[in-house]
Structure 1
Amino acid sequence: MSKVHTLDLKFRGMAGTIAAFLVECGAGELALVETGPGSTLENLLVGIREAGFDPGDVKHVLVTHVHLDHAGAAGWWAQKQGAKVYAHPRAVGHLMDPTKLLGSAKMVYGERMEELWGEMLPVPEEQMVTVEDGGRIEIGETVFVAHDTPGHARHHHVFEIEGEGVCFTGDVAGVRLQGQNYISVAAAPPQFDPVAYEASILKLQAMKFKRLYLTHFGALDDVAAHMEMERLRVAQVHQTVGSFLRAGYDAEKVRRSYEQSERMFAGLQGVVRDADWDLYQCANHTDMGADGIALYCEKRAAG
């Protein structure tokens, strides 16, 4: 069995919001699933050393999708460590040339861009490996299988460890922080699609995994209950934001109303401390979710 180490990247100094996963693959091989942003690279390196390994021995990096909190440091691993980077066909272009991705992010985050996300280096073409749906990645004695899972993004894979009942889910299984029951739907613009989301969730449900590793955050074993709640939550947030738009709310009122709605629902699920809500907002801010869901609704309304 492969051994998985959950590495806490302590994004913005907050524990338990973004994870990367170091996998012992046998035969002396290591794989890193997710890199986090460039701003947390030093924390990632510390985590690898604390797990008992030399970061220089990591030669395989798998990223679920290209958003900065998942793949922002992928280019560093390719350029500085000679690692191969494995990603979805729709993701490879952004990883080799992140100019457009960074430009879009800068429009959202402005002067906070460097502070939040740090540097994103391009992955050299010779280090980039395109993985198709169902593609198998053999590393040491471990085989990872990629599964196309759009809904959060069209360039999204989950990675199964073949034969072990384990899956690294990126964002498609939602955001559920340690010790919590509340699931926050990852719906940042511009590619949220509830129809594709549900199809991806049903796909994962049919695989009957024993354990999921969420980038936000960590391992969970109540897989069936979690995935069914995630399926219901996607439909719920889509309906909620749609109702705000039909009521004529402007963008800012949609954001505030969505935050209030989610905060109330989270409270019913046991998130009662403001500190815990702040962690959720750090991992998956409701403003991003409101904007992503609203964009989908507006595009559908426009035909």
Structure 2
Amino acid sequence: MHAGEFEPVHGVEDLYVHDTGMFDTDEYGSVYVYDTERPIVIDTGTGANRESLFETLDAIGIGRTELAWILPTHAHLDHAGGAGHLAERYPNAEVLVPERGVRHLVDPGALIAGTKSAVGDQWRHYDEPAPVPEDRISGLVEGDTIDLGDRELVVHEAPGHAPHHAVYHDPDAGVVFTADAAGIYVPEVDTVRQTSPPPQFDLDQCLTDLSTIESLDPEYLCFGHFGPREYDPALIGEAKRAYVEWVEAVRAKRAALGDDEAVVEHFEAASRDVEFWNRERARADASLNTRGVLAYLDSVDEEE
């Protein structure tokens, strides 16, 4: 797929995946559209390329008064940055987000500052998020359900990636919208990579979240980065190994170099070997993931 394109999700009726073209990279950022009795958009992208998402909704046949739900999987701006803009365009849609993310979407100032600090010059790929009105947003907790008319989604908290993170399960269709809980899926090489952003990545909880997905025994996984894939239990095992090995690699390099910026620079340099994204995206991904693990290791040291 290419930026701005959408296509049906094979094997799942009424479900579509849209490529946001996030960070000027094809097959990196997904938005899912469920054209059910009460239509829903799952994740929203950064907001920067929202016009192409509006065109996709028009092409699917979802009118401006018909969208029922806007459902970010968490408050990180690559997933929720477009929520306020969608709420402005679709006046009857209610925004739903894990409870700890509500305040960030109502008043995104702190989230903007934190994102700018974390992503540096990559901020140019974002758009200033529009606040979501308080009367148009509700928080979600473990076990909540979202009524789509002819089916429902079940909420499962998955805070390993961030405290305001959840996965959504459609038990009738056997679909789990994994957000970032199962890592980053790279269709080009059919593999899963870790995603460990600062400041609240938690390895142990991340492994628990992967086990939660495994216990749901889905038929399809819909990754926030990127796209749908038929479920294979081996993929969850691959993701668990990727996370454990990644954290140990950062831990070992910190012990060897003794300087966190040198550790970040090392993994940024190693990212040049990544062949499936453009070099800028690979470098930014490596930097963010390394900083997240370093923060996690600090928190473990403090607990001990």
User: Normalized against structure 2, the TM-score is what?
Assistant: 0.89
1:104 is aligned, of 82, 97, 114, to: 114
Q: Is the 8 A contact 1:17 1:279 kept in 2?
A: no
Number of the residue aligned with 1:159:
168
Consecutive unaligned residues of structure 1, counting only runs of 5 or more, are 267-273
- Please say if residues 74 and 121 of structure 1, whose CA atoms lie closer than 8 Å, have aligned partners that are also in contact: yes
Aligned-residue offset at 1:279: 7.5
Aligned to 2:21: 10
Deviation of 1:53 after TM superposition, in Å, equals 3.4
Alignment partner of 2:102 out of 73, 77, 92: 92
Is the 8 Å Cα contact of residues 38 and 118 (structure 1) preserved in structure 2? yes
Please state how far the C-alpha of 1:233 moved relative to its aligned partner.
0.8
Corresponding residue pairs, total: 291
**Relative contact order, CA 8 A, sep 6+: which one is greater?**
1
- 1:17·1:282 contact (CA, 8 Å) conserved in 2? no
Change (3 A) 1:229 1:259: farther
Q: Which of 25, 40, 46 is 2:36 aligned to?
A: 25
Distance change >3 Å, CA 207–CA 261, structure 1 → 2: farther
Distance apart, 1:35 and its partner CA: 0.5
Match of 2:244 among 215, 235, 241: 235
Equivalent residues of 1:79, 1:124 under 8 A apart: no
State the SS of the aligned residue for 1:285. Answer: helix
Residue 177 (structure 2) pairs with residue 168 (structure 1): yes
- Aligned 8 A contact 1:31 1:139 in 2: yes
Quote how far apart the aligned CAs of 1:283 are. 10
Helix, strand or coil at the partner of 2:16: strand
Whole-angstrom distance in 1 between the partners of 2:203 and 2:146: 29
Give aligned-pair identity as a percent. Answer: 25
Q: Could you say if the C-alpha distance between residues 296 and 250 of structure 1 is closer, same or farther in structure 2, counting changes exceeding 3 Å?
A: same
The alignment's TM-score, normalised by the length of structure 1, stands at 0.89
* Counterpart amino acid of residue 115 in structure 2: A
CA spacing shift, 1:55–1:6, aligned 2, 3 Å:
farther
CA distance in 1, matches of 2:140, 2:127: 26
Q: Which amino acid aligns with 1:287?
A: S
Instruction: Report the Cα offset of residue 177 of structure 1.
Output: 2.1
1:6 and 1:234 map into 2 onto residues whose CA distance is: 26
For 1:57 and 1:280, the matched residues in 2 are separated by 38
CA distance in structure 1 between the partners assigned to 2:112 and 2:42 by the alignment: 21
Contact 2:87–2:95 (8 Å) recurs in 1: yes
| The 10-residue stretch of structure 1 (91-100 or 53-62) with the greater mean CA deviation from structure 2 | 53-62
For 2:27 and 2:33, the matched residues in 1 are separated by: 16
Asked if 2 retains the 8 angstrom alpha-carbon contact of 1:7 and 1:48, the reply is: no
Please, which of 74, 77, 81 is the counterpart of residue 68 of structure 1?
A: 77
Report the secondary structure of 2:168's partner residue: strand
1:122 maps onto 2:131 in alignment = yes
Aligned twin of 1:42 = 51
The separation in 2 between residues aligned to 1:132 and 1:177, in whole angstroms, is: 29
d(CA) in 2 for partners of 1:278 and 1:182? 17
Cα distance change on mapping 1:109 and 1:296 into 2, 3 Å:
closer
**Unpaired runs of at least 5, structure 2:** 1-11
Alignment of 1:126-145 (within 5 A): 126-145=135-154
Alignment check: 8 A CA contact 1:85 1:129 kept: yes
Partners of 1:192 and 1:296 within 8 A in 2: yes
Considering only aligned residues, what root-mean-square deviation do their CA atoms show, in Å?
2.2
1:181 aligns with: 190
Q: Within 2, Cα distance between the matches of 1:258 and 1:282? A: 10
Sort the Cα spacing of 1:111 and 1:165 in 2 relative to 1 into closer, same or farther, 3 A: closer
Q: Amino acid of the residue matched to residue 111 of structure 2? A: L
Aligned partner of 1:21: which letter? Y
Quote the residue 1:281 is aligned against.
281
Letter in 1 for 2:290: A
Q: CA deviation at 1:281?
A: 2.9
The one-letter code sitting in structure 1 at the alignment partner of 2:30 is: A
Amino acid at match of 1:99: G
Q: Write the letter of the residue equivalent to 1:95.
A: L
Using the alignment, how far apart are the partners of 1:251 and 1:157 within structure 2?
A: 30
